[in-house]
Amino acid sequence: MSEVLLEAVALSRRFGGLLAVDSVDLSVHAGSIHGLIGPNGAGKTTLLNLIAAALPVSAGALRFRGEDITRWSPARRARAGIRRTFQNLKLFPEMTALQNAAIGLHAGTRCGIFAALARPPRQRREEREIAAAACRALEFVGLAAQQDAVAATLPYGHRRLLEIARAIVAQPALLLLDEPAAGLNQTEAASLSGLIRRIRERGTTLVLVEHHMDVVMTVCDTITVLNYGRKLAQGTPLEIQQSPEVVEAYLGHGDELPAEGARAVA
């Protein structure tokens, strides 16, 4: 059993009177692809935001590689190796695809303002390395041809891929994907599944929140199901599909645990 990379202990998030995430325990093992599913409003995205530090924790603790990161800022977590994509795409619209991807590497660099002004050889070398790494990331997700395209002009599917490229360019230990398949058609979704597997092969652990059951069931090793902010079930895809509680949680809300091809309405 591989080490536990990320551990959430009794994690809770309260919005006024509403407990969006209720005392959730989560263990993400290194090298795994961990899915987070649940009916609408179950708290999946909130949980993801807690892990990414987009929201502060109301109670509980978060540990990464054994270290307590509960109070860490988003930037600090990013520098430590936790990267994320956003459900509603947050790209840098005026920059090219290459520049977007390159931002993901900024945190690891050392040169600041004075180096920017003086341009010593070390700075110039770093720039070349960053450009090369960003280029490789774009190739990895399949956007090599769009390298110099301005992000705002890219079609939706490519923009999704660009977000992923930016998130993986620094070879993060943990990648959080927030509904990466949203808005993708069948072919694109299948392609995404392949991409996710290749990212894992490179050594990144993944946690993904997703409604697209095809993607979830084919790609994930473990799935955690949330309902009303609580952890309902956890297991392999097969176990989850056969779990009566999970089926009821979905059916009971008028959603179905869809057959292949369908996608739960967001």
Partner 1 sequence: MSAAAPALAAPLSRAHKVATTLILAALVALPLSGPHQFILHMLSLVAISSIVALGLQLLLGFSGQLSIGQAAFYGIGAYASGLFATKLGMPFPAAFVLAGLVAALTSLLMVPITRLTGAYLAVATLGFSILVYLLIKNEEWLTGGSFGLMGIPRPSLFGFVLTKPGHAYLLCVAVAAIVYFALLRLEHSRFGRAINAIRQNEDAARASGLPVTLLKSQCFVIAAFVAGLGGSLYAHQVRYLAPTDFTFWKSVEILIMVVIGGMGSLFGAVLGAAVVVLLPELLREVGDYRMLVFGAILMAVMLFGESGIAGFLSQCLKFFSKR
Q: Give me the residues that bind partner 1 (CB under 8 A), please.
A: 52, 54, 73-75, 78-79, 83-84, 86, 90-95, 98-99, 102-104, 106-109, 111-113, 116-117, 119, 123, 126-128, 130-132, 134-135, 139, 144-145, 147-148, 166-167, 170
CA atoms within 13 A on the CB side of 16: 0
Q: Alpha-carbon Rg of the chain, whole angstroms? A: 19
Closest approach, Cβ 133 to partner 1, in A, equals: 10
Closest approach, Cβ 156 to partner 1, in A, equals: 17
Closest approach, Cβ 86 to partner 1, in A, equals: 7
Considering beta carbons, is residue 177 or 240 the nearer one to partner 1? 177
Considering beta carbons, is residue 90 or 197 the nearer one to partner 1? 90
Closest approach, Cβ 204 to partner 1, in A, equals: 15
Closest approach, Cβ 130 to partner 1, in A, equals: 7
Considering beta carbons, is residue 44 or 231 the nearer one to partner 1? 44
Distance CA 154, CA 134 (A): 17
DSSP letters spanning 116-174: HHH--HHHHHHHHHHHHHHHHHHHHHT-GGGTTSBGGGS-HHHHHHHHHHHHHTT--SE
Considering beta carbons, is residue 74 or 258 the nearer one to partner 1? 74
Contact 81, 172 (CB under 8 A): yes
Q: Which amino acid is at 152?
A: A
Considering beta carbons, is residue 73 or 242 the nearer one to partner 1? 73
Contact 154, 97 (CB under 8 A): yes
Give the DSSP letter of residue 107: G
